[in-house]
C-alpha cells in the first residue's frame, strides 16, 4: 500500500473544506469523560532504522522446525507467484461484488475457481467458497436435510473417523435444527467404516451419511461400497475429502454407481499457507439437480446484448441479504482471496503437477512408516492403505516424545491421546512433498534416540 504523507498545509486545507478548524473537532461528539489523553504502555515512536533493527533482532530468535503435523492443515510448497498475485490491490482489498457488472475480474476468478473445483471433484456445480472446511461440512448437512424427500429423516451418520473439530462444529451449527447426529464406530483393526457398522440403519429414516476420504487417521475408506449402501437405503452421501488427495484418488462424483450427492471440506491444501491456523476456505460442490439448495454464491458466465462474454452472480434470492429470515443459509459471503490463491495454485500446477505432489506425499508417508516400524517401541495400529498420514503407537507417553522431538527441531505429529484415548499412546504423523529423504532419516534417527533413552 503506498505511503502518502500529509503536510500541515494539506491537513488545514482538508479541515477547511469540511468546515472545521482542528482534528479534535472531528471527535467533538464523544463526551470528554470517554476520551483518553494518551495511550498507556505504548512506547514513544522510533525511527525507521530502529524499527528495522528491532524486527531483525526478533526475527533472528525465530526458527522453523521440520513439520510432520497434518490433522486437517497441510504443509505444501506454495509458488511465490501465488502470494505475489493475491497481494495485488485489486485482489487483496476487493470485497463482495454486490455490483457484479463492475467486478468482472473478481467474478471471472471465482468462475474459474468453481470450474476447477467441479473438475477436481467431478461434480456439476461449486459455490464461490465458504468460511472453512468445518462450516462447509455443517452447511452441507443442513443442505442434505432440505434435499431429502422424507421430512421425517433427521438423522445424520457421522463416522468416528471424521475430524474431531468438524464433529464439534457440526454439533454447534445444527443444534437448533433438531437433528440426530449418530457417531458410527470404526473397525478397531483397520481404522475405517464397515458395512457391518451401518447395518443397524438399513431402512431407517436417515438423511445423509458423511464419508471422509482419507479419514482423520489418513486411512482410505471403501467409498464405493459405502456410497452404494447409502443410496440403496435412500440416504444422501456427503463426501468430505482432502482436495489434494483427489488428484490421485477417485473423485466424489465417481463414487459407487451414482456418485456422492455433495462434496464439502477444507481447501487449505490448495495454496493456502498454514499461518497458525487460518484464514482458510471451505469448498462445497454438488450435482446440478441440487443447485437451488446450495448455500453461498454462485458465479455464472453469460453473453451480453452485444455478444460479449460477461460474468454474473446467480441464484442470489437464497441469500441472507436478500431474503433475511427466509434465506436458505446465513452464509452470504465467501473467502474470495483464499479461493483466488487456490485458483492460481491449481492453474500453475495443472492436473499433472497436483498428481505428482499427491504421489510424492504418499510415497514419503509409506517410506517413513516402514522405517518407523523397524524401531523398537513403535507399533502399527491399523492395517489398511493410507494417503499421506498414518498412526503409530509407542510404549512411552506421546507428549514426552513430542516435547523431545521439538527440542531437536522436529514437530513430530498430532497427539491422538486426547481425541482417541482408546488407541493408547498413539501419534498421527503426516508427510507431504516438502519432505526430503534426509528429513525422513532425521525424524527416524531422533525418534529412535528418544525411545531408546533410559
Distance from C-alpha of 84 to C-alpha of 202, rounded to nearest angstrom: 52
The C-alpha cell at 13 is: 486545507
The C-alpha cell at 60 is: 533472528
Average confidence (pLDDT) over 406-411: 95
Residue 345 has what pLDDT?
97
6-15, 284-293, 321-330, 345-354: the lowest-pLDDT one:
321-330
Domain total in the chain: 3
Residue 149 has what pLDDT?
85
Over 80: is that where the pLDDT of 385 sits? yes
Q: Is residue 92 part of a domain?
A: yes
- Tell me the three-class secondary structure of the chain, residue by residue: CCCCCCCHHHHHHHHHHCCCCCCHHHHCCCCHHHCCCCCCCCCCCCCHHHHHHHHHHHHHCCCCCEECCCCCCCCCCCCHHHHHHHCCHHHHCCCCCCCHHHCHHHHHHHHHHHHHHHHHHCCCEECCCECCHHHHHHHHHHHHHHHCCCCCCCEEEEECCCCHHHHHHHHHHHHHHCCEEEEECCCCCCCCCCHHHHHHHCCCCEEEEEEEECCCCCECCCHHHHHHHHHHCCCEEEEEECCCHHHCCCCHHHCCCCCCCEEEEECCCCCCCCHHHCCCCEEEEECHHHHHHCCCCEEEEEECCCCCEEEEEECHHHCHHHHHHHCCCCCCCCCHHHHHHHHHHHHHHHHHHHHHHHHHHHHHHHHHHHHHCCCCCEEECCCCCECCEEEEEECCCHHHHHHHHHHCCEECCEECCCCCHHHCCEEEEECCCCCCHHHHHHHHHHHHHHHHCC
Q: Are 411 and 70 in contact (CB under 8 A)?
A: no
Residue 362 has what pLDDT?
98
Q: How far apart are the first and last CA of the chain?
A: 56
Q: Are 238 and 261 in contact (CB under 8 A)?
A: yes
Q: pLDDT tens digits, residue range 197-252?
A: 999 999 999 999 999 999 999 999 999 999 999 999 999 999 999 999 999 999 99
Distance from C-alpha of 139 to C-alpha of 135, rounded to nearest angstrom: 6
Average confidence (pLDDT) over 340-355: 96
Over 50: is that where the pLDDT of 1 sits? no
Are 428 and 408 within one domain? yes
- Return contacts of 345-351, CB within 8 angstroms, 24+ apart: 345/78, 345/79, 345/82, 345/270, 345/271, 346/116, 346/120, 346/270, 346/271, 347/112, 347/116, 348/79, 348/81, 348/82, 351/247
Share of the chain above pLDDT 70, in %: 95
Q: Which residue has cell 471433484?
A: 121
Q: Is residue 1 part of a domain?
A: no
Average confidence (pLDDT) over 63-87: 94
Are 238 and 355 within one domain? no
Over 60: is that where the pLDDT of 2 sits? no
Residue 323 has what pLDDT?
67
Over 90: is that where the pLDDT of 97 sits? no
Choose among 300, 277, 142, 272: nearest CA to 207: 142
Single out the residue in 317, 345, 373 at which a domain terminates. 345
Q: Is residue 3 part of a domain?
A: no
Are 167 and 234 within one domain? yes
**Which residues does residue 414 pair with via DSSP β-bridges, in sequence order?**
428
Half-sphere exposure of 156 (CA within 13 A, CB side): 26
pTM of the predicted structure, to 2 decimals: 0.88
41-50, 111-120, 203-212, 355-364: the lowest-pLDDT one:
41-50
Q: Which residue has cell 456439476?
A: 124
Are 119 and 256 within one domain? yes
Domain that holds residue 45: 8-60
Q: Is residue 264 part of a domain?
A: yes
Residue 436 has what pLDDT?
96
Q: Is residue 337 part of a domain?
A: yes
Say which CATH number the domain at 158 has.
3.40.640.10
Are 134 and 44 within one domain? no
Are 280 and 409 within one domain? no
Average confidence (pLDDT) over 375-384: 96
- Antiparallel, parallel or unpaired: β 66-67 and 410-411: parallel
Q: pLDDT tens digits, residue range 122-174?
A: 999 999 999 999 999 999 999 999 999 888 889 999 999 999 999 999 999 99
CA 161 to chain centre: 17
Q: Are 130 and 284 in contact (CB under 8 A)?
A: yes
Are 341 and 422 within one domain? no
Q: pLDDT tens digits, residue range 387-408?
A: 999 999 999 999 999 999 999 9
Over 70: is that where the pLDDT of 98 sits? no
Are 34 and 125 within one domain? no
Q: Is residue 253 part of a domain?
A: yes
Residue 102 has what pLDDT?
78
Q: Is residue 2 part of a domain?
A: no
Say which CATH number the domain at 420 has.
3.90.1150.10
Distance from C-alpha of 234 to C-alpha of 184, rounded to nearest angstrom: 18
Q: Are 310 and 104 in contact (CB under 8 A)?
A: yes
Are 328 and 394 within one domain? no
What is the overall mean pLDDT for the chain? 92
Are 438 and 341 within one domain? no
Are 414 and 370 within one domain? yes
Q: pLDDT tens digits, residue range 257-293?
A: 999 999 999 999 999 999 988 899 999 999 999 998 9
What distances in angstroms separate CA 420 from CA 159, 160, 188, 212, one per listed residue? 13, 9, 12, 17
Distance from C-alpha of 441 to C-alpha of 122, rounded to nearest angstrom: 38
Are 315 and 375 within one domain? no
Q: Who wins on pLDDT, 94 or 380?
A: 380
Q: Is residue 215 part of a domain?
A: yes
Band (pLDDT 50/70/90 cuts) for residue 332 is low
Q: pLDDT tens digits, residue range 162-207?
A: 999 999 999 999 999 999 999 999 999 999 999 999 999 999 999 9
CA quadruple 39, 43, 49, 54: dihedral sign: negative
Residue 41 has what pLDDT?
86
Residue 331 has what pLDDT?
74
Burial class (CB in 10 A: 0-12, 13-18, 19+), 300: middle
Residue 17 has what pLDDT?
94
Amino acid at each position: 500500500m503506498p505511503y502518502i504523507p500529509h503536510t500541515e498545509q494539506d491537513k488545514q486545507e482538508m479541515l477547511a473544506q469540511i468546515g472545521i478548524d482542528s482534528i479534535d473537532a472531528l471527535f467533538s461528539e464523544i463526551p470528554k469523560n470517554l476520551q483518553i489523553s494518551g495511550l498507556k504502555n505504548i512506547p514513544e515512536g522510533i525511527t525507521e532504522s530502529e524499527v528495522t533493527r528491532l524486527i531483525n533482532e526478533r526475527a533472528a530468535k525465530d526458527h522453523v522446525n521440520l513439520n510432520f503435523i497434518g490433522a486437517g492443515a497441510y504443509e505444501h510448497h506454495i509458488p511465490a507467484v501465488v502470494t505475489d498475485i493475491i497481494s495485488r490491490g485489486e485482489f487483496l482489498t476487493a470485497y463482495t461484488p454486490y455490483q457484479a457488472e463492475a467486478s468482472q475480474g473478481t467474478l471471472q476468478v471465482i468462475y474459474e475457481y468453481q470450474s476447477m473445483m467441479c473438475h477436481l471433484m467431478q461434480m456439476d456445480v461449486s459455490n464461490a467458497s465458504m468460511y472453512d472446511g468445518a462450516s462447509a461440512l455443517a452447511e452441507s448437512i443442513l443442505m442434505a436435510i432440505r434435499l431429502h424427500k422424507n421430512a421425517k429423516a433427521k438423522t445424520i451418520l457421522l463416522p468416528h473417523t471424521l475430524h474431531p473439530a468438524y464433529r464439534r462444529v457440526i454439533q454447534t451449527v445444527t443444534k437448533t435444527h433438531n437433528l440426530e447426529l449418530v457417531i458410527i464406530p470404526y473397525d478397531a483393526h483397520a481404522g475405517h467404516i464397515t458395512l457391518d457398522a451401518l447395518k443397524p440403519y438399513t431402512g431407517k429414516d436417515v438423511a445423509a451419511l458423511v464419508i471422509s476420504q482419507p479419514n482423520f487417521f489418513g486411512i482410505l475408506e471403501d467409498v464405493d461400497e459405502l456410497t452404494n449402501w447409502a443410496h440403496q437405503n435412500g440416504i444422501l452421501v456427503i463426501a468430505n475429502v482432502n482436495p489434494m488427495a483427489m488428484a490421485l484418488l477417485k473423485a466424489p462424483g465417481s463414487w459407487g454407481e451414482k456418485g456422492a450427492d455433495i462434496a464439502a471440506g477444507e481447501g487449505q491444501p490448495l495454496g493456502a499457507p498454514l499461518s497458525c491456523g487460518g484464514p482458510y476456505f471451505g469448498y462445497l460442490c454438488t450435482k446440478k439437480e441440487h443447485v437451488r439448495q446450495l448455500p453461498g454464491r454462485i458465479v455464472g458466465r453469460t453473453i451480453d446484448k452485444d455478444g460479449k462474454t460477461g460474468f454474473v452472480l446467480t441464484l442470489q434470492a437464497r441469500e441472507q441479504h436478500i431474503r433475511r429470515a427466509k434465506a436458505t443459509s446465513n452464509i452470504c459471503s465467501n473467502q474470495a482471496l483464499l479461493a483466488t490463491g487456490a485458483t492460481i495454485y491449481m492453474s500453475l500446477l495443472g492436473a499433472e503437477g497436483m498428481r505428482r505432489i499427491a504421489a510424492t506425499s504418499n510415497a514419503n508417508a509409506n517410506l517413513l512408516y516402514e522405517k518407523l516400524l523397524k524401531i523398537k517401541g513403535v507399533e502399527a495400529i491399523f492395517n489398511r492403505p493410507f494417503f499421506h498420514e498414518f498412526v503409530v503407537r509407542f510404549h512411552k507417553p506421546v507428549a514426552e516424545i513430542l516435547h523431545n522431538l521439538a527440542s531437536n527441531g522436529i514437530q513430530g505429529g498430532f497427539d491422538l491421546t486426547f481425541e482417541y484415548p482408546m488407541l493408547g499412546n498413539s501419534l498421527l504423523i503426516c508427510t507431504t512433498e516438502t519432505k526430503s529423504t534426509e528429513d525422513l532419516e532425521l525424524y527416524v534417527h531422533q525418534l529412535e534416540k528418544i525411545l531408546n533413552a533410559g
